[in-house]
Structure 1
């Protein structure tokens, strides 16, 4: 290879030009790093070839002139009539196909062609147009201009062999995405090492899994010494001990079926660290459904292993709370303990953009804890479960499905139809009899269902009932109901809904907890946001009729610590308004049908199998957006390895942001932050802080707010309340008399 071919250039601190990053070094070093990453899933040779080929398009005279002219490092360089960017990625993609043939080459072509722009669709049939791999390949007519030594170097590379026999479905597409992740991260890291060595040196240097495991054991020794000798704490210790014991078993998919308040967060961490140590795994990834509870759980983990050992990757992380090392680790998940949201985790598994996919190879050789797993969206259940199974079989991943209300994820035959779920799930607590015994030992309340399932109560009647109790929580199924009931309550009642920004909700929850501990009157009207992971402990809980999972989660906020002399009371009622259309209404209808069939119903572990089985078969589809079809070359065109990465990524959106808008609100310091945004403009640090002061509303509501000029567009697609008058410290966002 010509020694003067350049990959990157930069300036020194004194303004002079540094020695260039030579293309030969960049290709060789990226290839080595990609091979290292891909070797975790038996694909090191594939990674090496991808790394050697990814930037070969820079080895053309036209691209070298483009680099020096655009950077300014060669003032005499000029482009003869050329404007805009000059592509280089597609040249490597086309070259590997020529050298290794369509079978091997097409796999690598997806990765190489998309290492900057994102994994492409094969053809334009799904709307990809000029971005499709098929079209891009037709635009390459100058491979003969590549430096000959680059081509020779690739030709001398060992031809890779498939790491396993691929099955139909998502097997090939997931593997390509994992190869892509390995290449993208290696390319980023090698480029960063040249462009910003100081930044590169800040990466890593965390405790090992073994060291974190020792910290965890020491924490529990101290916790057990200072904890009161209650029955609940005795059961929690028993569960932890069981987790440590089962963790030594072979990798696979595990369930941790523990009633709410049974200490799932700490028990699952015990299992994960011991399991990772036993099987020489690299990391533990804690996946949490809601940002509203992620900070609480992250704080628990930090108290166990140390704040500097937990990397949070979610939108509520404030920039100045992160050190540089932690922020860098959130880019590619190279730390041993990651805390993230289910949106971030699952959408990344089906993403096409390099910044979302970069971390995926670090999911290999890990333990993944799915907290509150029953909240996995039903419309994406088929591709999610298939991907989970593949991660276990191909990528040395173990899952812990952690919830009080275990969903029916296991593969089964239902009325002659195959539910293609997870092949084998091992319950950590033990057999069904042992699980039932655990649930019975942690019964801390009694659930009362309405005698007449067809009789609805008015909000006035519910409000009157609630006033009979000094400490009571009432959970309803939507924001409108929450506000309507709250308006009927006495002064001093608390309101909790997603019309309040995250910072506001956290503040209110702290106040509620303080009053509960002080045993002073406290009444709360809330949406279901308190049902997953919010550690409230009321003697009485009311719940509008909903799915059995929601009712059980609501019950988890009643007599949580088991300190009442008698059982707590959970009162289920028929509200004046049905649950919203879609899966929430189907869940409520499924629960009602089961309650009608069981006169003296007891919500226990065994009942959830029946409930979820019925609920999943009521769903319109477990792959509503045809994700599996888009990503399965056998269903499209196997000869062309026809996969539609970009279209699948655009459809796999757990939160459909095309139907809603985020608004920055003026609550407390959020008011000053919005003003600062107006005067200074957006920055990474400022926008991170403002995440805590964001409320999301439906598109139709947003349009009304715009019409009455309650919101203003500060910068393109950044909207904020025009005045603090439109945000209440009691109920959050207010507008036009509607909430």
Structure 2
């Protein structure tokens, strides 16, 4: 909830991973390894002589691929740590450019000895390539979702953007009784407590075999244990399609589930380059599969298809994997991989000016690289939202608290009532007077309850008082 540039008071409240078991995010780990400031330095020593388990490692930001690979190789070889890369859609991090840093796997690195046999034994869904010329309209997707819910009992629609999730949800609401709690919306505009509440309702209905239709962004794809009869997935990377399939017939009923892959009519992914490039690579694999399904063992989300997908995807994005940095962010365009290794551009410049190479053993531009590094392109600010009675009470307690130790306890609790907001949305909310600090000089922000929807979560516009509430 606190920004990366901390005040002394915020530093008192931050954590340093001083615990036997630490559960964190890929973003926080990458910041500890490569970010600026002292927070990462205080955490770094905890990564040696440790077991590091990366769940859903395919979500690693593509620009950090070589940095991550080199860090993992260092932590295992020099830090005496064990690293486990977990996912059903294993990226080919060991097959990228060796000279730039590829993961060095152990000789017997697979936890499962025969993954092809395992995939075949665990096959629970049929993937239907439902792409069509001109694409699917939102209304057609909503109609298909309602129809599949009635046929199979439950349907999950996964889209690429929060705007698309809202549009499809509103259309589905005209076809499904929202008051019967048969329809659910999930996105990162909802705080964790809100999402947990909705997921609990989903699971209860699914366990009772009651009709359910859920429209969600990709947050539901990995690490969420739900079991739908049908999944509809907007076209995306093959890894995302495979992860979406993991939410369909998850418990292995006798009848296979169905995953429909659809191409939306009007979808702008210009600002979502990772999704766009993944989609393009997946389109090539789907086209190849249509031509020769036997070469993929008749499984479009099996190991052979995923290997082909990552080869297409990594080849297309090999220039992005070194973390390029544009001139302006630093003195001249370069890559973080170069700044933290040979740093040849700076060394060559020094040599041309002084007729000799710098008399330094370490020639890396550590400070420049640290300042330029961002695990995500647009760092977000956490905003505490007044979701339900518990959220409103927490905001009141934070505003009244003066003891630092008590604040720390409250901030831990506030993580469940926090939404991460991108800078442009934060500015809009601030201009509208929808944000206030819990106390001066903390920069810990709370949201006016008029800007939090009980259905969609945080809103940049005031929520209609007529909207139905579901606490």
* TM-score calculated relative to the size of structure 2: 0.79
Distance 1:533 1:737 in 2: 32
Q: 2:284 aligns with which of 581, 589, 593?
A: 593
Distance change (3 Å), C-alpha of 1:420 and 1:679:
closer
Q: What is aligned with 1:534?
A: 224
Shift of 1:558: 0.5
CA distance in 1, matches of 2:45, 2:435: 41
Pairs aligned (count): 403
The Cα of 1:450 is off from its aligned counterpart by 1.8
**Once the 2 structures are TM-superposed, how far is the Cα of residue 713 of structure 1 from its aligned partner?**
4.1
* Structure 2 counterpart of 1:478: 161
Contact 2:131 2:262 in 1 (8 A): no
Higher deviation after alignment, 635-644 or 539-548: 635-644
1:460 to 125, 139, 158: 139
Residues 476 and 543, structure 1, Cα contact 8 Å, conserved in 2:
yes
- Please list, as runs of the form range in 1=range in 2, the aligned pairs for 1:145-184 lying within 5 A after superposition: none
Deviations, residues 283-321 of structure 1 (Å, cap 9, x unaligned): xxxxxxxxxxxxxxxxxxxxxxxxxxxxxxxxxxxx9xx
Over residues 240-272 of structure 1, what are the superposed CA-to-partner deviations in whole Å (9 max), with x where a residue is unaligned? Answer: xxxxxxxxxxxxxxxxxxxxxxxxxxxxxxxxx
- Pairing partner for 2:453 from 721, 728, 733: 728
Residues in 1 aligned to 2:22 and 2:386: alpha-carbon distance in whole angstroms: 31
Matching of residues 210-609 of structure 1 within 5 Å: 331-333=16-18, 335=20, 337-411=21-95, 420-425=101-106, 426-429=108-111, 434-452=114-132, 454-468=133-147, 469=149, 470-489=153-172, 490=176, 491=178, 492=181, 493-563=183-253, 565-576=254-265, 577-579=267-269, 580-599=271-290, 600=293, 602-609=300-307
CA distance in 1, matches of 2:49, 2:397: 44
Any conservation in 2 of the 1:351–1:645 contact (CA below 8 Å)?
A: no
Q: Return the offset for 1:712.
A: 3.1
User: Runs of 5+ in structure 2 lacking a partner?
Assistant: 6-12, 294-298, 326-334, 348-357, 465-471
SS of residue matched to 1:382 = helix
Q: Report whether the alignment pairs 1:651 with 2:372.
A: yes
**Structure 2 SS opposite 1:358:** helix
Whether 2:404 is the aligned partner of 1:719: answer no
Going from structure 1 to structure 2, the CA distance change for 1:720 and 1:512 (only over 3 Å counts) comes to: same
SS at match of 1:616: helix
Distance 1:359 1:735 in 2: 35
- How far off is 1:418 after superposition? 6.0
Contact persistence 2:378–2:423 (CA under 8 A): no
Deviation of 1:570 (Å): 0.7
1:411–1:418 Cα contact (<8 Å) kept? no
Contact 1:410 1:423 in 2 (8 A): yes
Rate the CA distance shift 1:686–1:478 in 2: closer, same or farther, 3 A: same
Deviation at 1:351, TM superposition (A): 3.7
CA contact (8 A) 1:411 1:423 kept: no
Return closer, same or farther for 1:726/1:467 CA change in 2, 3 Å cut-off: same
Q: Distance in 2 between the 1:502 and 1:418 partners?
A: 41
Consecutive unaligned residues in structure 1, runs of 5 or more: 1-117, 119-318, 320-326
1-structure distance, mates of 2:143, 2:36: 53
Relative to structure 1, is the Cα distance of residues 560 and 363 closer, same or farther in structure 2, using a 3 angstrom cutoff?
A: same
Partner of 1:598, secondary structure, is helix
Change (3 A) 1:523 1:356: same
1:471 positional shift: 1.0
| 2-structure distance, mates of 1:382, 1:502 | 32
CA radius of gyration, larger in: 1
Alpha-carbon distance in 1 for matches of 2:104, 2:140: 48
What are the Cα deviations for residues 556-592 of structure 1, in whole angstroms up to 9, with x where unaligned? 00011102x2101111111231445311111011101
Query: TM-score with structure 1 length normalisation?
Result: 0.51
Higher helix share: 1
Q: Structure 2 CA distance, aligned partners of 1:678 and 1:720?
A: 10
Shift of 1:653: 2.0
From 359, 362, 370, give the equivalent of 1:639. 359
Change (3 A) 1:680 1:438: same
Partner Cα distance (2:19, 2:128) in 1: 48
Q: Which moved more, 1:486-495 or 1:536-545?
A: 486-495
Paired with 1:550 and 1:585, the residues of 2 have a C-alpha distance of 12
SS in 1 for 2:260: strand
Contact 2:221 2:240 in 1 (8 A): yes
> Which secondary structure state, in structure 2, belongs to the residue aligned with residue 703 of structure 1?
helix
SS in structure 2 at match of 1:340: coil
1-structure distance, mates of 2:201, 2:124: 24
Q: CA deviation at 1:429?
A: 4.1
Q: Secondary structure at the match of 1:488?
A: helix
